[in-house]
Chain A
Amino acid sequence: MPLTDDAPLLSLAGFSKSFAGFVALDRVDFTLRAGEIHALLGENGAGKSTLIKTMTGVVTRDAGTMRLQGAEIAPRSAEEAVKAGIATVYQEVNLAPNLSVAQNLFLGRQPTWFGLVREREMRRRAAALLTEFGLAIDVGAPLESYSVAIQHIVAIARAVDQSARVLILDEPTASLDAHEVEVLFAVLRQLKARGIGIVFVTHFLDQVYAVCDRITVLRNGRLAGTAPIADLPRLDLVRLMLGRELSEATAKRPPHVEGAARAAVATFAAFGKEGQVAPFDLTLRAGHVVGLAGLLGSGRTETVRLVFGAEKADCGTAEVDGRRVAIGSPREAMRLRFGYCPEERKTEGIVADLTVRENIVLALQAQRGALAPLPRREQDEIAARFIRLLDIRPPDPERPIGLLSGGNQQKALLARWLATSPRLLILDEPTRGIDVGAHAEIIALIRSLCAEGMALLVVSSELEEIVTYADEVIVLRDRAHVARLTGNAVDVPAILAAIADAPAAPAAAHA
């Protein structure tokens, strides 16, 4: 590893950023050496993207200093960051798909002769540049005629050619297949050999261990730790990301009561969709909570979207009450009395400008159809009942829901589905982004729903929480269900071991 010297290439100190009172980054330090590939990891909301955006000036930071090769810099836009030597390649290829590869590489800095672009010279340079990256392609062809992997390499080549010393890759491998990932890694190793510092954001742990030199983990906007790859085995890394070290022991689990006799509400066999999640078996029973655990991008949300028909499965069968059913759309799922509270509350769940009452009756109204409007009196009754039942505050049904706190929005969303009296309720990260007090209330709610005989399928990153209410936990990794823990086997270390696939914990895979 040709480290040019011990002084860091890029160092950030005390980076902080809040959005409207929410602390997204809290005094984060980060150093990048020349010629290293540095993984930046963390779960959803850990602050990875905020850190990158503040580094590149897309978002202005509240506090903190940044030094590039010892000189303090403060870019105010992506353009300025590029000029300073920090280039970013996003998951979405940010190039013009309709232009030729050569134009994309040199847009804005094409070689010219009296104002005219020297097309032949530009193509020659483009071909030469891409040869360094192991690509021998027709640079005159439009970019969109190439695979996403090649488009990524073109984007990297453009970034590096603009005198980048620091290259930030934000989940570049999310849409690549295994071979394409290898090609990209070959390019990264080559750039590393040239002394370029690379920040690599991903949620594929295999890739981290395949290509990175050091790891920095963020959690809840704070620096959770930085370590060379050799000092941080997988299990420790997962622990660091999920923040379990101290709290593991404190996670208490109520004595478990075997409930195998309870009736199956829905059974899925070899259910799956190519590119979303590998085929899985899943049985959901009345009064039974199934938890889905795994890292970001492991296929948890994909699983529940399949179950709810938001994505159409391309293999396997679904049975509800012993009858074969096809769940092709959320409408059909709702007809089977399934309910789904999505993870992205803001974009997929609440309608911010409507009142609490309108949000609560939304699903019930949709179920009845537009031709049978709920009488206003009935709406008022339903809203009042759930506001009381779930203790939604302030208890004003006519308040726009956007003005409520996250926890109360979440409760109103729950109320929306409870109003349809579902048999199966799917909760995707029900405690995300809400304060600690509300966490406990939501968990208590989940327990009481379960006691009333509803079947629940809950996705959560909060392992301590999941073990307190789940009768069964399914662990996902790389878009496949890899372990199923039931009864007393459900505990935090077992889940962690299954996520990390640590062979040292044989108790994990217990079916």
Chain B
Amino acid sequence: MIRSLARLMPVLATTAVFLAGFLVCSLVYPNFASMRVVMNLMTDNAFLGIVAVGMTFVIISGGIDLSVGSVIGFTTVFLALAIERWGVPPLLAFVLILVICAGFGACMGAVIQYFELPAFIVTLAGMFLARGVSFLLSTESIPINAELYAHLSDHAIRFGSGARLTVPAIIMLAVVIGGMVLLHLTRFGANVYALGGSRAATALMGINVPRTTVLIYTLSSVLAGLSGIVFSLYTSSGYSLSAVGVELDAIAAVVIGGTLLSGGYGFVFGSFVGVLIQGLIQTYISFDGSLSSWWAKIATGLLLFAFIAFQQITLHLARRPARRSGRPSPPPPAAIAQGVVRP
């Protein structure tokens, strides 16, 4: 029991920080504690929440994906061009871009696996590649005027007093829940953890490591594509410079959410709260009105540092104290008797 709690500690701490932060904001700004602020927090950070889920899988498996920001940028440009210039129906364009992203992620995963290259370098190359291609497609911001876009940004579940659960927020929540199910409740999820625990042992246990690796990066890129779709819905445009540095925000959210950067430990829910914390800081700054938005970066940096230090300490405490005292006892004679195949 104590061990399981120790494992949950980082996530609990993140959640506590978020709740405490929200409380402070509410005390400073009486209007803060409202459904509307919460809903806006989700809408404004929906794209980040979606990539953070993919990033959680990648980091737990012991990897990293630096390409997601560029993939988002590429997606918005591709969608704008496809819908506005090439006349592709928006829904078909969505399907197309997700397939392209899947292929891109699968390629990166395959390169990492078969060429035994560090994920850092491979996805860094992917980052430059995707960003470069989006510049190649267009260097200017292209507005998207498709009917579906207008319709989707209107569509929302309303709660009264101006609170709206928008389509981007709904998609993000669905991705978070889907990610939790996939990571915590399926064989694939267990394999992701196993890879982060010990890659060599996972292979020796007969798990198909190449397939799992390729799937992990495919998932991350597909979610980055989905995030790009949400981003284009949110901004109703496509721009090759959009979402620069989002990969780092996503990594920060994952780490603040309690996932160990070296792999093996973490929760999707933690990353979700990590995203909300970053959003909360930004919302506070916009409520204040006089603070520079760069304070958001500074606060995120400090938090990140605090959480990494905190993780090291809890890990240290969790690993140090005596290994489970429960010493094994010799098997009972009954068990031996049961096990006898032939007398």
Contact between A142 and B7, CB atoms less than 8 A apart: yes
Residue A175, interface by CB 8 Å: no
Give every chain A residue within 8 A of B343 (Cβ-Cβ).
2
User: Given A2-B343, A142-B7, A194-B339, A108 and B206 touching (CB < 8 A)?
Assistant: yes
| Nearest A-chain residue to B337, judged by Cβ | A193
- A215 and B330 CA atoms in complex are apart in Å by 25
- A144 and B321 CA atoms in complex are apart in Å by 12
Contact between B342 and A98, CB atoms less than 8 A apart: no
Residue B302, interface by CB 8 Å: no
User: Given A97-B198, A117-B187, A146 and B323 touching (CB < 8 A)?
Assistant: yes
Contact between A78 and B4, CB atoms less than 8 A apart: no
| Nearest B-chain residue to A144, judged by Cβ | B319
> How many residues on the B side are at the interface (Cβ–Cβ under 8 A)?
42
Residue A387, interface by CB 8 Å: no
Residue B196, interface by CB 8 Å: yes
Contact between A141 and B4, CB atoms less than 8 A apart: yes
A285–chain B nearest beta-carbon distance, Å: 45
Residue B30, interface by CB 8 Å: no
User: Given A78-B204, A98-B264, A153 and B4 touching (CB < 8 A)?
Assistant: no
- A112 and B188 CA atoms in complex are apart in Å by 12
Give every chain B residue within 8 A of A189 (Cβ-Cβ).
336
| B303-341 contacts to A (CB < 8 Å) | 319, 323-324, 326-332, 335-336, 338-341
Residue B161, interface by CB 8 Å: no
Residue A95, interface by CB 8 Å: yes
Give every chain A residue within 8 A of B264 (Cβ-Cβ).
96-98
Which of B3, B186, B196, B326 interacts with A117 by CB under 8 Å?
B186
A457–chain B nearest beta-carbon distance, Å: 36
Give every chain A residue within 8 A of B328 (Cβ-Cβ).
134-135, 137, 149-150, 153, 180, 183
User: Given A82-B206, A95-B201, A117 and B331 touching (CB < 8 A)?
Assistant: no
A161–chain B nearest beta-carbon distance, Å: 12
Residue A315, interface by CB 8 Å: no
- A196 and B122 CA atoms in complex are apart in Å by 46
Which of A93, A115, A137, A144 interacts with B186 by CB under 8 Å?
A115
- A137 and B326 CA atoms in complex are apart in Å by 7
- A41 and B186 CA atoms in complex are apart in Å by 43
B66–chain A nearest beta-carbon distance, Å: 24
Residue B21, interface by CB 8 Å: no
User: Given A134-B329, A142-B3, A95 and B342 touching (CB < 8 A)?
Assistant: no
A324–chain B nearest beta-carbon distance, Å: 34
Interface flags for B1-36 (1: CB within 8 Å of A; 0: not) read 001100100000000000000000000000000000
Residue A145, interface by CB 8 Å: yes
Question: Which of B265, B328, B338 is the most central at the interface, judged by chain A CB atoms within 10 Å of its CB?
Answer: B328
Contact between A108 and B335, CB atoms less than 8 A apart: no
| A129-188 contacts to B (CB < 8 Å) | 131-137, 140-142, 144-147, 149-150, 153, 158, 179-180, 182-183, 186-187
User: Given A98-B197, A98-B264, A134-B335, A2 and B205 touching (CB < 8 A)?
Assistant: no
Give every chain B residue within 8 A of A149 (Cβ-Cβ).
328
B196–chain A nearest beta-carbon distance, Å: 7
| Nearest A-chain residue to B7, judged by Cβ | A142
Give every chain A residue within 8 A of B187 (Cβ-Cβ).
108, 110, 112, 115, 117
Which of B196, B319, B324, B331 interacts with A186 by CB under 8 Å?
B331
A193–chain B nearest beta-carbon distance, Å: 5
Contact between B339 and A132, CB atoms less than 8 A apart: yes
Residue B202, interface by CB 8 Å: yes
Contact between B338 and A132, CB atoms less than 8 A apart: yes
B177–chain A nearest beta-carbon distance, Å: 13
Which of A78, A98, A108, A145 interacts with B324 by CB under 8 Å?
A145
Contact between B193 and A98, CB atoms less than 8 A apart: yes
Give every chain A residue within 8 A of B117 (Cβ-Cβ).
none
| B160-217 contacts to A (CB < 8 Å) | 181, 185-187, 189-191, 193-194, 196-198, 200-202, 204-207
Give every chain B residue within 8 A of A180 (Cβ-Cβ).
328
Residue A190, interface by CB 8 Å: yes
Give every chain B residue within 8 A of A182 (Cβ-Cβ).
330
Contact between A98 and B331, CB atoms less than 8 A apart: no
| Nearest A-chain residue to B265, judged by Cβ | A98
| Nearest A-chain residue to B185, judged by Cβ | A116
- A194 and B338 CA atoms in complex are apart in Å by 9
Residue A270, interface by CB 8 Å: no
Contact between B340 and A193, CB atoms less than 8 A apart: yes
User: Given A98-B197, A108-B207, A193-B339, A134 and B324 touching (CB < 8 A)?
Assistant: no
Residue A195, interface by CB 8 Å: yes
| Nearest A-chain residue to B264, judged by Cβ | A98
Contact between A145 and B3, CB atoms less than 8 A apart: yes
Contact between A116 and B181, CB atoms less than 8 A apart: yes
Which of B197, B324, B335 interacts with A132 by CB under 8 Å?
B335
User: Given A2-B340, A116-B181, A195-B342, A108 and B191 touching (CB < 8 A)?
Assistant: yes
A459–chain B nearest beta-carbon distance, Å: 31
User: Given A103-B190, A142-B3, A94 and B331 touching (CB < 8 A)?
Assistant: no
Give every chain B residue within 8 A of A142 (Cβ-Cβ).
3, 7
Residue A227, interface by CB 8 Å: no
User: Given A2-B340, A190-B336, A137 and B205 touching (CB < 8 A)?
Assistant: no
Residue A507, interface by CB 8 Å: no
User: Given A98-B193, A112-B187, A134-B331, A79 and B201 touching (CB < 8 A)?
Assistant: no
- A90 and B323 CA atoms in complex are apart in Å by 21
Give every chain B residue within 8 A of A131 (Cβ-Cβ).
335
| Nearest B-chain residue to A97, judged by Cβ | B197
Residue A23, interface by CB 8 Å: no
Contact between B330 and A96, CB atoms less than 8 A apart: no
Give every chain B residue within 8 A of A78 (Cβ-Cβ).
204, 206
Contact between A190 and B335, CB atoms less than 8 A apart: yes
User: Given A145-B3, A179-B327, A194 and B206 touching (CB < 8 A)?
Assistant: no
Contact between B339 and A94, CB atoms less than 8 A apart: no
Give every chain A residue within 8 A of B198 (Cβ-Cβ).
94-97
Question: Which of B202, B206, B324 is the most central at the interface, judged by chain A CB atoms within 10 Å of its CB?
Answer: B206
Give every chain B residue within 8 A of A112 (Cβ-Cβ).
186-187
A401–chain B nearest beta-carbon distance, Å: 27
Which of A119, A140, A183 interacts with B330 by CB under 8 Å?
A183
- A108 and B191 CA atoms in complex are apart in Å by 8
User: Given A96-B193, A115-B186, A116-B181, A190 and B202 touching (CB < 8 A)?
Assistant: no
Interface flags for A105-125 (1: CB within 8 Å of B; 0: not) read 001101010011101000000
Residue A4, interface by CB 8 Å: yes
Given contacts A108-B191, A135-B328, A190-B331, 9 further A-B contacts (CB under 8 A): A94-B204, A96-B194, A99-B190, A110-B190, A134-B331, A137-B328, A146-B324, A146-B326, A149-B328
- In the A-B complex, list the 10 residue pairs whose CB atoms are closest, starting with the nearest: A134-B331, A96-B197, A98-B197, A96-B194, A98-B264, A94-B201, A186-B330, A94-B204, A195-B341, A183-B328
8 CB contacts below 8 A, A to B, read A96-B205, A98-B264, A117-B189, A133-B335, A135-B328, A136-B326, A136-B329, A141-B4
